[in-house]
Amino acid sequence: MTTNTGEAMQPLIAGNWKMHGLASRLGEIEAVSVSIRARPIYADVLICPPATLLARAVQAAAGSIAIGGQDCDCESTGAFTGDISAEMLKDTGACAVIVGHSERRQRHGETDAMVAAKVTAAWRAGLLAIVCIGESEAQRLAGKALTVCGDQIAGSLPAVMASSAVAIGYEPLWAIGSGSMPSPEEITQMHQHIRQCLVAHWGAAGKLVRILYGGSVKPSNAREILALPEVGGALVGGESLEAMDFETICRSVPPA
């Protein structure tokens, strides 16, 4: 997977399988991998399966697809039953991890400070951290979407680290799995705002961070979304579980 060290950023299409998938589904990863080897695409491709499948997913991907985790602990080792460290993810062959997803913020009470600690852990282990942010429907209706997301960026990103080790996943909470989504103008406005926040946080290095859109991304709307200003890829949920649908989204990225 490419890093954000040049002026041109390779888009990133990341699939989040969430708590779906047994060994029988590894064939979906293999199918996408085979297709990409036969006909390359204009994006980095990442799939984040459940932790139980990580090592086998790396084998199925055969180097054509990057594999990542869905969360990590902020500690490298210790008596933390059930937790997985960033180093453990790296040891399976993973190269990235999703942190701060809204489902973890809501269901597990993760704060911005906890997310920032996990971002640092991912950097320590040499993993790309996809840092998720997003507003609720009530916050958007109250006109607070930009402020909420800006505050999450400020609180969830360490002050000192390589910006190339981070991507931002913007997922409006109300759009995840709902079939609803912001208008193209609203997506553009938010992504431009996120870019401004990143530059304010990291200076010129903030211009090189990929900003992914997530929330009801599917084959029928991917091309339009990926063509919008400051959209540097997509964070795909349910549509990443089926090889044909996910590949269609990946191939929606226009040539550089």
Q: Which residues are known catalytic residues?
A: 101, 171
Strands 44-48 and 96-99, bridge-based pairing: unpaired
Q: Which of 147, 246, 135 is nearest to 182 (CA)?
A: 135
What does the alpha-carbon distance between residue 140 and residue 127 come to, in Å, rounded to a whole number? 32
Question: Which residues have a Cβ under 8 Å from the Cβ of 117 and sit 6 or more positions away?
Answer: 74
Q: Which amino acid is at 101?
A: H
CB atoms within 10 A of CB 43: 24
Q: Which DSSP category does 66 fall into?
A: E
Helix spans in 98-213 (H): 102-107, 112-125, 137-141, 145-156, 184-202
What does the alpha-carbon distance between residue 245 and residue 148 come to, in Å, rounded to a whole number? 32
Report which secondary-structure segment, H or E, holds 26. Answer: helix 26-38
Phi first, then psi, for residue 164 (nearest 5°) are -70, -10
What does the alpha-carbon distance between residue 70 and residue 237 come to, in Å, rounded to a whole number? 12
What does the alpha-carbon distance between residue 28 and residue 17 come to, in Å, rounded to a whole number? 11
What does the alpha-carbon distance between residue 170 and residue 133 come to, in Å, rounded to a whole number? 5
Contact 68, 48 (CB under 8 A): yes
